A and B are shown apart, each in its own frame.
Chain A
Amino acid sequence: MKKRPSLVAGCYLVALILTGALRAQTIPRIQFEKYTLPNGLEVILHEDHSTPIIAVDTWYHVGSGDEQVGRTGFAHLFEHIMFMGSEHVPVGSFDRLLEAAGGDNNGSTTEDRTNYYETLPSNALPLALWLDSDRMGFLLPTMDLAKVNLQRDVVKNERRQRVDNVPYGRADETILAALYPKAHPYSWPVIGSMTDLSAASLADVQNFFRTYYAPNNATLTIAGDFDPAAAKKLVAEYFGSIPRGPAIQRRTTVPPVVIPRDTFLVLEDRVQLPRLYYTWHSVKDFAKDDAALDILAQILANDKNSRLYKHLVYELQVAQDVGAVQDGSRLDGKFQIDVTPKPGQKVSDIDRLVETEIKNVIDNGITSRELQRAQNSFKARFLNRLASVLGKADRLNYYNYIVGNPDYVQQDAARYDRVTAADVQRVARTYLGRPKIVLTVVPEGKRDMMLTASGGGR
């Protein structure tokens, strides 16, 4: 078992006392009221009058995981199209009106959901509700191919800016395609492929809207400085008359992920240094082992004293950086470690060091201090997310969507407090003991640098 030799006893005692203090700092509940309009729209209200602003955050229960083969990236392209005006809101007005009212807005798309949010001065709530209800109820009358084409170009540039023109940017989609079977909703990236973006048609937009963008597939959360009675009336006025859409069938299961043996991939990129990505199939968000895997990621790589950082980056200085993440989504999840070797280091040597550190956790477990450090970091993260009304609106929507209860922040935080050192050792053995996908991103023309089953990697 690895200890932290540099810690003196005195320090350790003080720290133990401190831990008590942080643990005593409970995560506050987010008070809220939830109701459903006759058309199925869920509404969540949270009052916070500390600053005269409001966050309006609408979640549609659709994401890239709902896309059809040949139309990857469509849910996100659709998100862009939602800003192109609607029947009563001419194109361009959405941002002009919000900005002139002091508001900011954006949207985001994941595998599982799409959201649209505004933060604005508290007097401007009606404006946000007018804009959001118009695009929920009246998007198609003024939709045309020109709008789709314009945002198609913008999204292709977003892909270039986030993926194609970024070092290592194509690693993610390469790994997803190898980790998940073709029919798996997470086997393609949210941003989609250029080919599929090119293929999206006006009819696709119309069908997608009719299928998924109905009040009965959305949750509207309003957080901040407002009077609940007045807000409810406004919500009823703006959203109440939007007709309910057809019932929506979304998948609740995914095809099994089978990785019979370690799979080695290589991707050439315009990079100075290679990078190794190890990816294991793990568990979905809120599954029994999700929190323990989050803590394992923290202990392996996300802190200066973490196993991989300390040994490879700090002590041996053979790696420039390391990372680890448990990435659990609604239906499935993966665990990933990445390491960038320093110039001149062989990936096969790096690989042996990574394997040794993982094996050490599997064989010998972790220290209580490692566990407490990770738990305290997560606790602070929970607290920090509640500092803004937009952060609280996001949490309410997230818990409502994933566990069916907006009031879940304390239970979520408690998951991390319950994790034991034995849990972390067990999940390391269970999940990191499985066969994995190993991708080496190499500088162009240097495929012989890739890691292989026999080591390889010059």
Chain B
Amino acid sequence: MNPVRLLGALGVASALLTGSASIATAQNSIDRTKPPELGPPPTLSLPPIVTRQLANGLKLMIVEQHELPLADFVLLAGSGSTSDPAGKPGVANLTAAMLREGTTTRKSLEIADQAAFLGVNLSSGSSWESSTVSLHTPTAQLDSALALFADVALHPSFATGEFERLRKNRLTDLLQIRDQGPAIANLAFPAILYGSGHPYGLPSIGTEASVKSLTTSDLQAYYQSNYRPNNSTLIIVGDVKPDQIEQKINALFGGWQRGEVPQVTYGEPPKPAATTIYIIDKPAAAQSSFRIGSIGVPRSTKDYFALSVMNTILGGSFSSRLNQNLRETRGYTYGAGSRFDMRRAAGPFTASAEIVAAKTDSALLEFMKELSGIRQSISPAELSRAKRYLQLQLPGDFETTQQIAGALVPVALYGLPLDYYNNYVQNIEAVTLADVNRVAQQYINPAALAIVIVGDRKTIEPGLKSTNIGPIIVRDISGEVIQ
């Protein structure tokens, strides 16, 4: 959900409108035959971001929002699964999970008890390049909630018994993934695209072998290397005052010791191969899980805004080409879309849908038609709609404390300028038809796609073969070649 915003410079429909003039008219005189003309979009004044830094290097990003007595805290350490030690996928993920499983002064159940007692959400997790501890709390008992939050972040005990329990739980999770076609596809697609030599090709939740082999020493070591104030930002949004909250944070986090954080080196991703269909058999699956794509771009790309607009047209909105074709015209799916995952290094471009098994081959032809079609021509009307959509939705991303905290994560993680959102509308506005045509041709190559389809092989393979879109290779559920 989201909405709005705007800038005079947009040239949006401008006209005047609606406002008082039409209101004065009689009840029956409205013209239903065409959409109402809208007045200029509202201006959004983005709340200022106050930045501070503690002596140990911990950066603070503070936004005041006093609508409700709530606050959100996100401690963001700039290391995630790409910092997993060689041969040990899953370490970052399990390290983050273990933070809530006991500290030097609180047992696992005590942490949960106190969080529930306080009525707060306390969570921890990891992503490709970050690990987070998050707190959402009513401000009535802020001090107690913050003490719990800081304890979890700074004094994890990595108790063996708790880890053995999590290990057992994780191994069962890995077993249960076999039940879920979409989950299998989500794991297999990056594995096939990047291979096991690149961190983005490895499963961040670990493999059965790696999870079995890990010890609490692996997690301790990961924590000591990566959870450091000089590698972290604390995002604070809500019913707080910067000076007061900085004092509280300094009291809790000021003693956190700096450390040398190892840099991640990303190997060269594999060169794109000719378009190939990879089938992973999921017998009797009612739908085929499609993940089609290639290696895309890093977050630092100069083409960020042009790609955002182009992808909105291709598969990033309900009225996008992929969704309109595969869902609203053909009824093959409940929804189709596409996205560029942009990370420190080039993340994947993925087009995806869950397709009724009987239409698997027909749907693939339509996917290919759209992935080629976006390179042929984009109309000025499509460009304009996509730009308005991205620009005018911005204010809706800044409604709640959780949304604002979420919006600040990429600013902290990728070093975006603090006025990034203030300039967002102009940056989208500057995207031209030539830009979107160029990035479509540059980044979407129908001749070099990995097409991963998890479905009932017996039903779908003959039809896929007859599409002649590429050779068919059958893989197992980890994306590995079946021997």
Taking the complex as formed, is A433 at the interface, i.e. its CB lies under 8 A from any CB of chain B?
Answer: no
Binary CB contact string for chain B from 152 to 175 against chain A (1 if under 8 A, 0 otherwise): 000000000000010011001101
Name B67's closest neighbour in chain A (CB-CB).
A50
A240 within 8 A of B: yes
Binds B, one of A22-30, A180-188, A199-207, A346-354: A22-30
CB closest chain-B residue, reference A386: B68
Segment with Cβ contacts to A, from B36-44, B204-212, B252-260: B36-44
Instruction: Choose, from A13-21, A108-116, A420-428, the stretch at the interface.
Output: A13-21
* Size bracket of the A interface: 35 or more
Residue of A nearest to B389 (CB): A99
79-138 of chain A: CB within 8 A of chain B: 87-88, 92-93, 95-97, 99-104, 119-124, 126-127, 130, 134, 138
Let me know if A412 is at the binding interface, CB within 8 A.
no
**Which residues from 207 to 266 on chain A have a C-beta closer than 8 Å to any C-beta of chain B?**
225, 230, 233-234, 236-238, 240-241
| A92–B400 CB distance below 8 A | no
* Interchain CB contact under 8 A, B2 and A119: yes
Q: Check: B424 CB closer than 8 A to any chain A CB.
A: no
Residues in A386-418 with C-beta less than 8 Å from chain B: 386-390
Cβ of A377 < 8 Å from any Cβ of B? Answer: yes
A95, A100, A236: residue with the most chain B Cβ atoms closer than 10 Å: A100
A71 within 8 A of B: no
Of the residues B34, B107, B141, contact of A21 by C-beta under 8 Å: B141
Also in contact, A167 and B116, with CB within 8 A (given A122-B4, A157-B354, A158-B334): no
Query: Is B319 within 8 A of A99, CB to CB?
Result: yes
| A99 in contact with B317 given A154-B327, A237-B30, A272-B175 (CB within 8 Å) | yes
Report whether A377 and B354 are in contact in the complex, using a CB–CB cutoff of 8 Å.
no
State in angstroms the CA–CA spacing of A192 and B88 once bound together: 45
Closest beta carbon of chain A to B5's beta carbon, Å: 6
A14 to B147, CA, bound (A): 12
Q: Determine the chain B residues whose CB is within 8 A of the CB of A15 once the complex forms.
A: 114, 117
Instruction: For the complex, give the distance between the alpha carbons of A271 and B243 in Å.
Output: 54
C-beta contact mask, A298-322 vs B, less than 8 Å → 1, else 0? Answer: 0000011100001000100100100
Contacts of B483 on A, CB cut-off 8 Å?
none
Residues of A within 8 A of B354 (CB): 157, 160-161, 165
Whether A120 pairs with B140 at a CB distance below 8 angstroms is no
Are A164 and B328 within 8 A (Cβ)?
A: no
Encode contact with A along B23-43: 1 for CB under 8 Å, 0 otherwise: 101011110111110111111
Quick check: B165 and A387 within 8 Å, CB to CB? no
Categorize the interface residue count of chain B.
35 or more
- Bound together, the chains give a CA A97 to CA B173 distance in angstroms of 42
Q: A238-B30, A320-B172 are in contact. Are A24 and B140 (CB under 8 A)?
A: yes
Kindly provide the distance from the CB of B240 to the nearest chain A CB, expressed in whole angstroms.
15
The interface bits of chain B over 361-401 (1 if a CB of A lies within 8 angstroms of the residue's CB, else 0) are: 00000000000000000000000110011011101101111
Beyond A154-B331, A157-B354, whether A387 also contacts B42 by CB under 8 A is: no
CA distance A304 to B111 in the complex (A): 9
Give the distance in Å from the alpha carbon of A157 to the alpha carbon of B283 in the complex: 18
The minimal Cβ–Cβ distance linking A218 to chain B, given in whole angstroms, is 18
The CB with the most chain B CB atoms within 10 A, among A18, A53, A303, is that of A53
Q: Which of A96, A123, A380 contacts B138 (CB under 8 A)?
A: A380
Contacts of B445 in A (CB 8 A): none
Q: Chain B 202-231, CB within 8 Å of chain A: the 1/0 string? A: 000000000000000000000000000000
CA distance A237 to B21 in the complex (A): 13
Q: Which residue of B lies closest to A48 (CB)?
A: B67
Q: How far is the CA of A311 from the CA of B277 in the complex (A)?
A: 47
- Let me know if B189 is at the binding interface, CB within 8 A: no
B421 lies within 8 A of chain A by Cβ: no
Task: Give the chain B neighbours of A305 by CB distance below 8 A.
Answer: 109, 112-113, 116
From A103, A240, A272, B27 is in contact (CB under 8 Å) with A240
Residues of B within 8 A of A102 (CB): 2-5, 41, 388-389, 391-393, 396
Provide the B62-86 mask, 1 if CB < 8 A to any CB of A, else 0: 0000011110000000000000000
B391 neighbours in A (Cβ, 8 Å) = 102
- By the criterion CB–CB under 8 Å, are B3 and A22 in contact? no
Q: Which of B3, B27, B331, B398 contacts A157, CB < 8 Å?
A: B331
B480 within 8 Å of A (CB atoms): no
Selected from A21, A100, A122, the residue in CB contact (under 8 A) with B140 is A21
B179 touching A167 by the CB < 8 A rule?
A: yes
* Cβ–Cβ < 8 Å partners of B108 in chain A: 304, 314
Given contacts A22-B141, A157-B287, is CB(A123)–CB(B1) below 8 Å?
A: no
Is there contact, CB below 8 Å, between B165 and A314?
Answer: yes
A95 to B388, CA, bound (A): 13
Verify if B110 is at the interface (C-beta below 8 Å from A).
yes
Contacts of B392 in A (CB 8 A): 101-103, 120-121, 124
* Contact of A454 with B by CB under 8 A: no
Q: Say whether, besides A102-B4, A123-B39, A343-B172, A22 and B140 are in contact (CB < 8 Å).
A: yes
Minimum CB–CB distance for A383 against chain B, Å:
6
Tell me if B1 and A390 are in contact (CB < 8 A).
yes
26 A-B contacts (beta carbon < 8 Å): A6-B110, A7-B110, A25-B138, A25-B140, A52-B3, A88-B32, A99-B388, A102-B5, A102-B41, A119-B3, A120-B3, A123-B40, A123-B41, A123-B42, A130-B35, A153-B356, A154-B331, A157-B356, A158-B334, A233-B23, A237-B27, A304-B113, A320-B173, A372-B117, A377-B119, A387-B402
Question: Chain B interface (Cβ within 8 Å of chain A)?
Answer: 1-6, 18-20, 22-23, 25, 27-30, 32-36, 38-44, 67-70, 107-110, 112-114, 116-121, 136, 138, 140-141, 144, 165, 168-169, 172-173, 175-176, 178-181, 283-287, 317-319, 324, 327-334, 354-356, 384-385, 388-389, 391-393, 395-396, 398-402
The 3 closest A-B CB pairs, nearest first, are A102-B392, A121-B4, A153-B331
Given pairs A120-B3, A123-B38, 6 additional interface contacts (CB within 8 A): A7-B113, A130-B36, A157-B332, A160-B334, A305-B112, A376-B119
